[in-house]
Amino acid sequence: MQKKARYSNNAFFDDSKVIIITGASSGIGKAVAQALVRYKPKLVLTARRKRKLYHTANLLKKQKLKVLPIVSDIRNREDRTRIIDLTLKMFGRIDVLINNAGLGKANLFLNQPEEEIDQLIETNILSLIKMTHAVVPIMEEQGGGSIINISSSLAMLPVYPFAVYCATKSAVKVFGDGIRQELKDYGISVSTVLPGPYNTEFNKISGLNDEIVNGKAVDKLAIKIAKLTIKPKNNLIQPRSFIPLLWITEKFGFLKEKITLKIAEQIYKARIANIKKIEFEETKLEEKEIELAVATKTKN
Ligand SMILES: NC(=O)c1ccc[n+]([C@@H]2O[C@H](COP(=O)([O-])OP(=O)(O)OC[C@H]3O[C@@H](n4cnc5c(N)ncnc54)[C@H](OP(=O)(O)O)[C@@H]3O)[C@@H](O)[C@H]2O)c1
């Protein structure tokens, strides 16, 4: 790559900026898309679930934003190429890539099926690296851009029922730190976001009970992430209360084990509560089916 003049982040935003958000059908990705409305960018939104993705896109179109929803699986090479080709065809450039698509699976490593390990690694880290790899030359050609990667505070606080997830998120952080110096010379910034627990579909998909996780609402986090598109930051830790927690655990290794054990216990509790909730719902469903069968028999 040829070195180019440093991309100025002042006046970074005019209404010609083009932003890709992966995983915009729900949770943090959807909230960030909504938080970006004030900057009037052109948005490319991606996810697998068509109905939910189009719902996000329609909300934004109503606010007069130019939006391109692309139904795609980020793990699929052809889908990643299609996202980039369609973005360039429709909007002509890529200024910001928000690598947000991801998932968790709270499982003990001893019980974790290999397919689940594949899914976590392929979605959370492999696709993120490959998407960045495909977009960076385009940004270099344009004279600059911005990469925003969604990691997790668990990247710094590895906990046992979430080990593979933590490993992928730690890799996201290390990857960001690694490419930052190299890409700086081409005017490309790299920000890593490390969220604590937030209330999204993430908990249910991870197999956790929402009430026990007790996460925060995503609105404020989304505003902070949206701001990174104008003012990049190496690391964004949210909520702010996690900053001292991560600092202390980094500084005092002996505390790390105690704190991670406490978090692990909480996650384990949320997992068991979720299993019980599912069993309870299934029993209720079974009872309903029996009632229905009896009612039909009596009728006949
Ligand atoms: N919520 C939290 O407490 C928390 C904390 C730290 C970090 N994070 C991170 O934040 C990011 C967003 O999660 P969230 O909390 O907003 O959860 P979410 O509501 O479940 O959102 C995840 C998004 O990723 C998309 N996605 C998952 N697999 C995909 C695939 N193979 N291809 C394309 N899109 C895919 C989902 O869309 P489809 O299912 O429609 O494809 C969805 O839009 C994740 O990277 C997660 O690890 C979350």
CA of 140 to the centre of ligand 1 (A): 28
Choose one of 200, 214, 225 to mutate for the ligand 1 pocket test, by most ligand atoms within 8 angstroms of C-beta: 200
Helical ranges in the chain per DSSP H = 27-35, 50-61, 77-91, 114-121, 127-142, 163-184, 201-206, 210-213, 219-228, 242-251, 253-299
Closest protein CA for atom 19 of ligand 1: 27
Whole-angstrom Cα distance, residue 21 to residue 175?
Answer: 19
> Domains in the chain, start-ordered, CATH in brackets?
18-299 (3.40.50.720)
d(CA 249, CA 257): 8
pLDDT tens for each residue of 123-182: 999 999 999 999 999 999 999 999 999 999 999 999 989 999 999 999 999 999 999 999
- What percent of the chain stands above pLDDT 70? 92
Look-up of token digits 């790899």 = 133
In the three-class reduction of DSSP (H, G, I as helix; E, B as strand; rest coil), residue 33 is classed as: helix
Residue 297 has pLDDT above 70, yes or no: no
Contacts of 48 (CB under 8 A, 6+ apart): 25, 71, 72, 73
CA distance 83 to 194: 25
Lookup: tokens for 89: 């065809």
Ramachandran angles phi, psi of 292, nearest 5°: -65, -45
Three-state secondary-structure class, residue 215: coil
Q: According to the model, what pLDDT value does residue 299 have?
A: 64
With the most atoms of ligand 1 within 8 angstroms of its CB, the residue from 20, 21, 22, 28 to mutate is 28
